Structure 1
Amino acid sequence: MLTTGTTTFLQELAHNNNKPWFDANRDRYTAAKEDFEVVVADILKGLAKMEPAFAEQKPKDCIFRIFRDVRFGTDKTPYKSHFGAYFNKGGKKSTGAGFYLHVEPGGKTFAGGGLWMPESPVLKAVRQEIDYNFDEFKAIIDDKKFKKMFPEVTGESAKKPPVGYTEDNPAIKYIKMKGFVVSNNIADKEIHSKTFVKTVTDTFATMDPFIQFLNKGAEIS
């Protein structure tokens, strides 16, 4: 679980997103970051039971910097008002599918994962895998437990079918997608619960067949 000090820091940062405030509260940031690292370390232990490669990873291999890259996008605030960690057996810079934890108080915390806007060769391979093995893909996303936790696979969709596919393809809804993402919201009260890590790892475990399918399609070893 995370301490209330961590979520309070993130809440106050959201309202004071500027360098002077951050510098004056740098000790609080350091404490919050270390608190999040402990949680990420515990999640890695849980993931290692599903995939041994995670046993070799450290929190720093998963956690994203809180400092925002203001060169791109319209949001020019210097800091993110959340903590984020990406869990991928190939590391957070891997092009394969993986798991993501987003901690942001105010009802914005979630555990999710998948492939977000993959590069063209990976996207093409995943689309082909869905086309060739649509029954397997449908069985995964229509599984009762999976469907309850992740009602819908989301992602930007192309207006027209990709080259080589037609509108009458049974899998065309997913073949048109440019990314494949699922997520499950986590209530604020759960962040501070002793069961928080278990909630996250159970969510990832339910998601795992989906992640494995995407990585098989992308031929990620």
Structure 2
Amino acid sequence: MFRKTFPPAILAGICISIGCVVNLRTGGLAGAVLFAFGLTTVVYYGLKLYTGTAGFIRRHGDWPMLLTVLLGNIVGCLLSALTIAYAQPDCIAPATDIVSSRLAKGPVACTLLAIGCGFIMTTAVQFARQGKMLALLLGVPVFILCGFTHSIADAFYFMLAPADILFSPALLIIYIGEVAGNFVGCNLYRAVLKVMSAE
């Protein structure tokens, strides 16, 4: 399982990091729209992304796989962040601004915002699996412009920040909250459908 999951998870982290880079360098509506290249690539190649996987896991047996995906995504973001910090250091300042805004919001707000992102990502991937790519192309700009938090994108942004910020306990708590919030959002549709089917 590890060999089939970890490498594509690393590549998925790199793809999302590419979206992050264009967003940092372009910003605004254009950056949000172009970010969609990252998720589109993940879906097209069938790579393993945490927010594209969390909403489709089975009740039993998939937890180690999901943790492997998350770890691989973070490794992909780390490799990308190290590369960009060296080759495109102008990205460090805007990434640090994003990190500072997360710290200003705090863990509760970032967790709540992550729920919205998780819901959008699962919806977009669900549509894409049915060959309907428009939701995928719109979903990414929507979550970015809404200010929702994506745990894998933030892994890249966070690792571009200065070390004293990156290794602060407050940022770790925020990140854990985002991972949890994304998971809740990714599975929100399941909870709603379960309630509907019970009526």
Q: Structure 2 length normalisation: TM-score? A: 0.28
Q: Which has the higher contact order (CA 8 A, sep 6+)?
A: 2
> Rg bigger for which structure?
1
Structure with greater helix percent: 2
Point out the structure with the larger strand share: 1
Q: What is the TM-score of this pair, normalised by structure 1? A: 0.26
